[in-house]
Amino acid sequence: MEEEQIEQGMSRRTLLKGIVGGAAVLAGGGILAACGTSALKGSGTSTNTKDILIGYVSPQTGSLAGFATPDNYILGLIRASAPFKKGVTKGGTTYHFQIIEADSQSDPNRASQVAKNLILQNHVDMIVTSSAPETANPVADVCEAQGVPCVATVVPWESWYFGRGAKPGSTFTYTTMFFFGLKEFAGTFIPMWNRIQSQTNANKVVGAMWPNDADGTAFRQGWPPYIKQAGYTLVDGGAYQDGQTDYTSMISQFKASNADFYVNGPIPPDFNVF
């Protein structure tokens, strides 16, 4: 698919490179530097004023809503900031930012649909998406297909990358993400386990609660080498379905194995039930 051009010759791919280059959106660095003096396709009517429309998709309701709890606070800070309220001037043009929020309702199909709506109806210049692969992955897939820059976060990179069918060494053209992965999880949890174990002589047995979804699959593949290398024994509770309401057999398995440590990756309601 040919790169769609944004008015005077700036491609969406160039815009994405500006974003990935490390400048914050509201700082006006990466994106506007990538723009040069050309204008985005936003809805500004003045020749000296342009709007940059940013779609934001997160699970504001549903089983994953706990992840989106800080959204209103963070978006409030952004909208109250000087760059957002006054705009950013570059090359004689003042760019004003607009954020259009959309609720994935914790449903992958809904996430895909709202992403399409933002692109085809609201004509956003880019999309930011957050909170678990059930939202971030389908939104990124739509953006990739439509040639719209997308930045995802709050999803382990393995769940986002491999969960979207990527192979080692391959890259996406229009979509990227910013978050940590299994190496960072292990680097955080295992030192805590070691301190507890040295002080209590706890059994070096780890019970794992990993669901049958993108997160669970990534954790089931990525965690065991770190756990084994640290000298712990892994007890996998099994690939259960999201929304399961009875974890008796899993808990019994952990107890029978004398597991004193626990690692997990469930959606929030399942963790509460467990």
Number of domains into which the chain is organized: 2
Do 228 and 104 fall into the same domain? no
Are residues 9 and 128 both part of a single domain?
A: yes
Same domain? For 128 and 196 the reply is no
Q: Two tokens at 212?
A: 């049958």
Give 47's pLDDT tier (boundaries 50, 70, 90).
Answer: low
Question: What does the angle CA 62 – CA 274 – CA 246 come to, to the nearest 5 degrees?
Answer: 90
Do 167 and 195 lie in one domain? The reply is no
Residues 18 and 97 in one domain: yes
Q: Give the residue with greater pLDDT, 253 vs 39.
A: 253
3-state helix, strand, coil in the chain (%, to 5): 45, 20, 35
114 and 224 part of one domain = no
Q: Do 163 and 192 belong together in one domain?
A: no
Q: Are 63 and 115 within one domain? A: yes
The four Cα atoms 242, 243, 245, 250 give a dihedral, to 10 degrees, of: 10
CATH number, domain containing residue 105: 3.40.50.2300
Please tell me whether residues 172 and 188 are part of one structural domain. Answer: no
Nearest Cα neighbor of 215 from 233, 199, 239 is 239
Query: What residue ranges in 179-265 does DSSP mark as E strands?
Result: 205-209, 233-236, 261-264
Measured between alpha carbons, how far is 7 from 4 in angstroms, rounded to an integer? 9
The encoded tokens of residue 225 equal 């080498």
Query: How many Cβ atoms are within 10 Å of 131's Cβ, its own excluded?
Result: 25
Q: Does 253 lie in the same domain as 207?
A: yes
214-229 helix and 182-200 helix, angle to the nearest 10 degrees: 50
Instruction: Say what the pLDDT of residue 65 is.
Output: 95
Q: Which of 212, 241, 210 is nearest to 227 (CA)?
A: 210
Is residue 267 within 8 Å of 132, Cβ to Cβ?
A: yes
Residue 203 belongs to what domain range? 182-273
Closest CA to 12 of 173, 176, 178: 173
Domain final residue, candidates 178, 198, 228? 178
For 220-267, the pLDDT digits (tens) are 999 999 999 999 999 999 999 999 999 999 999 999 999 999 999 999
Tell me the mean pLDDT in the region 51-69.
96
- Contact between 127 and 57 under an 8 Å Cβ cutoff? The reply is yes
Q: Tens digit of pLDDT for each residue in 106-146?
A: 999 999 999 999 999 999 999 999 999 999 999 999 999 99
Q: Would you state the pLDDT for residue 11?
A: 53
Tell me: do 196 and 98 sit in the same domain.
no
Domain end (from 140, 161, 178): 178
Q: How many angstroms separate the CA atoms of 248 and 101, rounded?
A: 39
Q: Are residues 153 and 243 in the same domain?
A: no
Q: Is the pLDDT assigned to residue 152 strictly greater than 50?
A: yes
